[in-house]
Amino acid sequence: MSTTAVHSLWTTAAEPIDKIDAPTIEYGQLSPVLIVIGAAVIGVLIEAFVPRKSRYYAQLFLSVVSLAAAFAAVVGLAARGFGTTKAQIAAMGAIAVDGPALFLQGTILLTGIVAIFTFAERRLDPEAHGNRVDSFVAQAGSVPGSEGEQAATKAGFATTEVFPLALFAIGGMLVFPAANDLLTLFIALEVFSLPLYLLCALARRKRLMSQESAVKYFLLGAFASAFTLFGIALLYGYAGSVSYATVADVVEGNVKTVDPALADTMGNDALLLIGVAMVVMGLLFKVGAVPFHMWTPDVYQGAPTPVTGFMAAATKVAAFGALLRLLYVVLPGLRWDWRPVMWGVAVITMLGGAIIAITQTDIKRLLAYSSVAHAGFILAGVIATTPDGISSVLFYLGAYSFVTIGAFAVVTLVRDAGGEATHLSKWAGLGRRSPLVAAVFAVFLLAFAGIPLTSGFAGKFAVFKAAAEGGAGPLVVVGVLSSAIAAFFYIRVIVLMFFSEPKADGPTVAVPSPLTMTAIAMGVAVTLVLGVAPQYFLDLANQAGVFVR
């Protein structure tokens, strides 16, 4: 064996390193996220160690207490000025603690608490084998209709894993709008998407449709995640960093030193434009904007209704928060490139959602297309590129999320022998059978339509005003036209409920437990308060409307 061959087996020692600096983590400022993720981990341990009979109560208690504690932490941070004067970047540049982040986190946590109430509802279905049942399958791993599933139902099993899954999803959603670098953004996206894919497949009734919806969501979501990740890679090649502030500096040409390894690709506009297009595409998919909305109606229809309400409300809040931060913090220098594209997306989203909703015969699909149209209205505020644009979007998201969860909670109450009666023909005459439920649903539909004295009107007015002042007047005209088209099918449902004869074999309205009553009551209260006296909350959104960079 030659000496050269032997010497190639080792290398000379590098200079000894004095010490590696430990990362500095501001635990106090990250406390909302840490509380929720910690509770989710404890929830997994409860599944492993607590007896089956006690799990439901333990999980419900843990979920509500942790979300309330996290919300208290958000309020505490805002009260100490982290939303305004003390806004800063925490966790070594990974997370921004500023007004928009805290406002959106507070909204997500409150909608999370209300959603957990609907998850925990156990009085709507008749008791099975002497056990109360919820909206979720008895044993997720069993084949639909199999002996295993029947045995699990007979034994009174309950899928209490939905609570830690929801907490993990909420934890990811809290990080998503606050992410201050592209990698944190992607990790948060995966952390909240994966639990949602699972939750969509767990419906107790119509299990095959539920599983189909989960597979569709998973496959399309995986494509969207792949686009996002590829876009992040291209942006890293363009700017030599995944940090928002550094990418923004390179876009604006403010970079002093260039890494020699990246000198060839830095400043290559093709990488920038393709990368931005891909990342924004991933975010528009989560928002449900046309043409990335194809998953929305199928997934909303197939998923268990409490999950649909949670997804429709909280995912939109998180995704719009991330989109706002990306466009306003990273890409203000690229405004002339992304604004025309967003104009086009907003126009086809508003019109597409409103027009296709007219043809729907299923109440969940109708609400799904309605949520697509609302994504278009919110995009009008995003396009404004003014401080009012940010605050109007924050306000709209807060108002919209409670109306949505309330509306889906009402849908869970209208039932026939096959479970929820979601076909519109079944809702005929509901106002005569159950005037209170029909009246509450009418309030939510009027808020969606943007009728004055509801939160929907205040939100739409704020967004359209910001868009008009930001130079997007024609967009506002399209928005008002779409609202008029949308009002048609909302009012049609109200007419169907109150002015049609009830059918003899029509559905019944189940009497829910106080959990769902609370969820619906909170929806109605927020809808009316934000509609009648929105000024305080608009001022709050205004104060919270400044991003830190």
**pLDDT tens, position by position, 186-209:** 999 999 999 999 999 999 888 999
Backbone phi, psi, residue 310, to 5°: -60, -45
Torsion of CA 384, 389, 395, 398, to 10 degrees: 60
- Check residue 20 and give its pLDDT: 81
- Check residue 347 and give its pLDDT: 95
> How far is Cα 94 from Cα 21, in angstroms, rounded to an integer?
17
**pLDDT tens, position by position, 515-540:** 999 999 999 999 999 999 999 999 99
How crowded is residue 14: how many other Cβ atoms within 10 Å of its Cβ? 6
pTM: 0.93
- Check residue 14 and give its pLDDT: 62
Which conformational region is residue 253 in: left (phi greater than 0), alpha (psi within -120 to 50 degrees), or beta?
left
Q: Is the pLDDT of residue 21 over 70?
A: yes
Which conformational region is residue 22 in: left (phi greater than 0), alpha (psi within -120 to 50 degrees), or beta?
beta
**Least confident range of 37-46, 154-163, 320-329:** 154-163
- Check residue 261 and give its pLDDT: 66
**pLDDT tens, position by position, 476-485:** 999 999 999 9
- Check residue 149 and give its pLDDT: 86
- Check residue 132 and give its pLDDT: 85
How crowded is residue 542: how many other Cβ atoms within 10 Å of its Cβ? 18
Confidence grade of residue 47 (pLDDT, cut at 50, 70, 90): very high
506 vs 50, residue with greater confidence: 50
Structure token pair of residue 181? 């670098």
> How far is Cα 214 from Cα 117, in angstroms, rounded to an integer?
22
Q: Is the pLDDT of residue 388 over 80?
A: yes
- The answer to whether the CB of 451 falls within 8 A of the CB of 457 is yes
408 vs 263, residue with greater confidence: 408
- The answer to whether the CB of 483 falls within 8 A of the CB of 460 is yes
Q: Is the pLDDT of residue 32 over 90?
A: yes
State the distance between the two ends of the chain, measured CA to CA, in whole angstroms. 60
**pLDDT tens, position by position, 231-287:** 999 999 888 889 999 899 888 887 766 667 666 667 678 899 999 999 999 999 999
> How far is Cα 405 from Cα 524, in angstroms, rounded to an integer?
10
Q: Is the pLDDT of residue 90 over 90?
A: no
* Percent of the chain residues past pLDDT 70, beyond the cut: 95
**pLDDT tens, position by position, 459-472:** 999 999 999 998 88
Q: Residue 339: which of 391, 269, 280, 279 has the closest Cα?
A: 280
- Check residue 472 and give its pLDDT: 87
- Check residue 422 and give its pLDDT: 86
Query: Average pLDDT for residues 168-176, to the nearest whole number?
Result: 96
Most confident region among 19-33, 101-115, 421-435 by mean pLDDT: 101-115
Distance from the Cα of residue 190 to its chain's centroid: 13
65 vs 158, residue with greater confidence: 65
- Check residue 211 and give its pLDDT: 94
- Check residue 86 and give its pLDDT: 83
198 vs 20, residue with greater confidence: 198
> How far is Cα 370 from Cα 375, in angstroms, rounded to an integer?
9
- Check residue 255 and give its pLDDT: 73
> How far is Cα 182 from Cα 364, in angstroms, rounded to an integer?
34
**CB-neighbour burial class of residue 265 (10 A; exposed 0-12, middle 13-18, buried 19+):** middle
**CB-neighbour burial class of residue 262 (10 A; exposed 0-12, middle 13-18, buried 19+):** middle
Q: Is the pLDDT of residue 357 over 60?
A: yes
User: How many alpha carbons lie under 13 Å from residue 323 in its C-beta half-sphere?
Assistant: 34
Query: Average pLDDT for residues 302-317, to the nearest whole number?
Result: 94
- Check residue 266 and give its pLDDT: 73
- Check residue 369 and give its pLDDT: 95
Average pLDDT, the chain: 90
Start-end of H helices in 181-294: 182-199, 207-239, 244-252, 269-287
